[in-house]
Structure 1
Amino acid sequence: MPRPVWMWTLPLWLAVTALGAWGLVSGQRAALRAAFDLDARVLHRVLSQRMEQQETVLHAVSALLTQDLPAGTLRGSVQTLIRPYRQIVAVESCAAAGCQLVAPGRAALPLLPFSPSPGPSVHWPAGSGARYALSLGRARVWVNAGALLPARDLPEEPLTVQLFRPDGGALVLGQAAPVRHAAWAFSVDKRLGTALEPFPVRFERAYAWTVWPWGELLAWVAVTALLAWGLARALIVRARSERTLLDERRRAQGIVQASTDGIVVLDAGGVVVQANPAARRILDGLQVGQAIGSAAQFQATLSQAPFDAAGFWQARAAVALPDGTALQRGAQRVLVEGGLTPLTGEGGHLLGRVLTLREVGPLQQRMLAQLDAGERRVREHEATLTHVSRLSTLGEMSAGLAHELNQPLTAIVSYGQASLRLLNQAEPDLTRARQAVQGMVTQAQRSAEIIARLRTLVRRAPAQRVKVDLVQAARNILTLCQADLTRLDVQVDAPLPTAAFVTGDPVQVEQILLNLVRNALEAMAGVPRRHLSLRVRSAETSWALTVQDSGAGLTGAALANLFQPFQTSKREGLGLGLSLSQTLAQGMGGDLSGENAVAGGARFTLTLPQWTGDPDS
């Protein structure tokens, strides 16, 4: 790194580092001083309040002694009065003959002759240490100054508190917090705010060297060193950047010169400043310093309005040449395209303009050839997509038929097997056999209706819009699935209302409900507790039927692709049931949604519009 850079960077870094370090240390000292002053003010207020409380107790005891109360009542009242104040160690009732304890003291009291005084006074007996007496009339209250400030009242930060006698300055209370090798020490002298007990008090606090902001100081030194290094580095990089900028300018100049499009740089007055070889070729005879209006003479063709030369050359925003613009080049007219782009400075003032030009003739020939090849590929791709679409439609229809017909065909087989068992009995039960045969006929008719509905769905024909009882449809499905419900020992909870009329297709409604109930039964096949809940509720202008099971619920992947075709978690499933059910529900003006229930299991909600008497409403 060049020596001259460090000759002025190093002193600057040292000065800034020293100034910042002084600021950090001063700020830390000011913060600690403020914390000390706050703690001193709080403790001073606490001690002053203790003195005021003692004087209040003195006046209260004096008042009690003037009422000639029985000894037991007086003793109980005084003990209740002084119990909250640990510094009050005893209370005496004095007379000329001597003093008598009203409240027993916690230690032996020093001798203090009685001298009646009309106003409150303070007495310090000889050898009493930190104990002194407050007197008023016959009342005498003994106070232990050493208990005025218990440890629980001291702040968390160690603080030295010293309380002195007002008459001679002797120390009566000392809470010391010594610190070795102190870096800073703060102290303040105050006087307690009471006229009777104006004790001088001193608060002191010392801080060791560990309170200095060493981390901030090290960080400041590191940051300033990094900034100084960065500044020196920036000066070096600046020189390199200037060289790089020159190289970039040369590179950009080379790109402009190599471009096959004509590029002309103009000043604010429309005079040519720079032009690449392509521009010189397109604008035959173009010279630097020439007015662009005389070199580039654009004309309109028959397919456009007259060319506004003045508006084009004086444009303050980017403007393109109109389609079909021709350039008059001697006796020849050449079709060109391009535009004019203004160059503005930082303040928005115009620096100049850039004109770009290209001849359209050769470009049009290349584009027409590419367009012809592209159209041919599009036609071939369209034919392929049409074929694939036909195959996809046929596959979906076949899969849908297989999925939807599986349930009624299963019911027909079950009814047929039941009929055979009933007829093969020694005494055939013809009534139940007829019911089973009638069930087979009903399911066969249902199969025919399903085929008709699926054909309608494939043809995108509108569904029927008739009055359908959603409650009756739910009961029909529960009846149809009763055998499976009994086999799996499923507890059904279906407190359904009397009726819930919706607008829809009765076959499609039952298809959706049957699919939801079958899915619920399959989800509960492997769980010990099987509970199926059906609820029907009114939701403004629609009815909502909820089917909830007690299975394991839906996984995150299943929820993300719940109604996507061919997405299933079943081993032999096709993934069409929920997709077709949602399509049917939306075709009837409703919707089908699914989620995990809070109590566990999956919950699906079918919403259909309420019947209003008008199928088209």
Structure 2
Amino acid sequence: MRNSLGALLAIGLAGLQFVAVLVIVFSSYLTSERALLDHARNLLSDVGTNTIEHSKGFLNPARGAAELAARLAQNHIVASDNPDALEQLLFQQLQITPQFAGLYYGSEDGGFVYVMRSAGPGPFRTKFVLIDGEERTTELVWRDDDFNVIERQFDPADTFDPRTRPWYVRAREAMGTIWTDPYIFFSSQQPGITLSAPVLNDGDGIRGVVGVDIEISEISDFLARLKIGDTGKAMIINRNGDVIAHPNPDLIKTEDSDGTLRFTSINEIEDPIARAAFGSDDADPDFLVSKEEPFEFSHDGAVYVSTLMPIISEILPWTIAVYAPEDDFTQVIKKNREDNLWIAALVAGITGFIGLLLAEFIHKPVKAFAVRSALISQGEIDPSEPLPRTYKELAHANETLVQQIVARKKTEQEYGQTFDLASRGMAQIEPATGRFLRVNASLCEMTGYDAAELTGMRISDLAQPGSGVQFASGEGPLDASFAINQEAWLLRKDGRPICAAVNAILIRDHEGRPLHAVVTIDDVTESKEKESQIAQLNSDLSHLARGNTMGQMAAGLAHELNQPLAVIAQDADTALLMLDQDARRDPELREILAEIEQQSHRAADIIRALRGFIRKDEGTRTAFDFVNLFGQTRRLVQAEANQAGVTIRADLGDLPPVLGNRIQVAQVLVNLLRNAIEAIAGDPQAERIVTVTARRDGDRLEVAVRDTGPGIAQGVNLFSQFATTKRDGMGLGLSICRTMVEANGGRLWHDPEVTPGACFRFTLPFAATT
């Protein structure tokens, strides 16, 4: 499918403009949204912090008032057993602290003085519970702001005992100031909290407890005045999940079936967003957190941001919970983003229309150039004819096109020459049948067939039966996976086999259709024969090494064992002689000694037979090329050298043939090279080079193998049997090498003058020239 350049230009201009605007809009939106959300979280955190500080400021005066009253009573500044004085003290504290709902004092004998705010008949009401022996009196007194009595009345049915109340019991047990959990006051039906402090005796006990009732509904009023976005809210949650302060105070009170009021749990509050944000499925939820925890949640398809603040204090285990819709902070930027998208679409449409006109103007000369190029390719126009009026870039393109046509023809000509004159065999194969289409002279020379004979044949026709040629079998056309890189044995026209490296690739046209396969064939018969020679040399070396090692071991063992066997035979012979001279000859003893002498001679004979059985093979000494032999042995140890990171260098020059056992000389070279490599590998600081040199020394060839290892330690007898510097060595390598060199008419020695490292030299005689 061919696309119109004009349409592509128009779409490209408008599309790039639209994409650019979108990138700017969305990047601006994302950065602005992130900044606003961070600001929202910071705002929620500030709201929580302000609420905590406000709550502390609201409640701290109660602690001071209760502890002040307790100290005054404890230090007898105000007599705790004087109800009238206590009433005045509590009345004054209630007047100066508007958040107090009431102050009271309960004594250990059950007495009680309670000053509280009242709805009438006076603004303040005092309750006295006086104990005089077995007599109990309960009196209620209403007063005005100036402490004047408005009304009095007695309540003989009252049975209130402060000593049974939780605030009294807990303060007495703690012997210090305590806070109760928030609850709904019975009289005012307002949420509140009680703080109490003990009045201590001079001894260890207490005389009574001072308590303060604090209405906390004012905290809900404070939360209602907070501005958190447009619709955000803050609330205070007790550790048990009760909501004790909320912008809507009516939501925090719930009436039980018995008519009593309690705080509403977060899981049942009629604020569905708060339930979604902070509700919990746990039967015993714990809302106490040690650090601020911001998070996001969804409700009715809207996204909200929220945070839970750490508890206010250990004695007030309340947490501040704040939430707000994300749109309260990001709605403006979202609206701005939508407007910008519409603006981007409008700009893209306008620029697209302008781009279409511009594209047509730009495309017109391009179209003329395309028509001219098509006519040139069809041969209807001479490329040298002048161009129509167009852009200078198109004029340059025309020149380049003509140059490419000329260059292509030149390349085709060069390829044809390369194909015909290549030193390696080359051929083109028909994809459908696998037959030769074209062959070069080198392939004809290699196979013995002329070009006419090869044309129409397949490579499989040249293959030796069972050689494994895996293509061009005539079973079907070549497919897309056609690619060959293998070795195969081919038969020349005269029947002589050759080993060939065959490589083939499939050439396709611009539409992917196969044109032909190009095959290159190299004659690797000679290299295969060299590899076979090296493999045979390796096998001969292994056999020779085993034989020489066993021969040296047998010779050493025979030498070492023959001496004690000779001593045994001699001692047995002496014992027999002494026994014959003794008048009291014991026939049984003589028989034993004779058997010892006989068995010692038998052991010596066995050792001599063993030594003769595995004696070293002297082999046949022939003339051979030392340089060629060194190249083959070098390849045998090259893998070990590569593994140890050692470089083997050689300076051999042009040498005449030498006379010797080729396998034994190769064994000597391999042993010396391996020793050098192992010496360097064991020294991590050494320069890792082994150098082999050869020079004429009269009628002999002198070879030196030098390494850059640590050298030979003093006191080591290198050429003695069973003497070695290796942990796992047998001590036979250099001994065997010296024996083999000497068997070939040469000499092997260590050159101590060459340092650093070690240098071993050996000589071989040159072959006689005729």
TM-score band by shorter chain is: 0.3 to 0.5
Give the number of the structure whose alpha-carbon radius of gyration is greater. 2
Using the size of structure 2 for normalisation, the TM-score is 0.27
Using the size of structure 1 for normalisation, the TM-score is 0.33
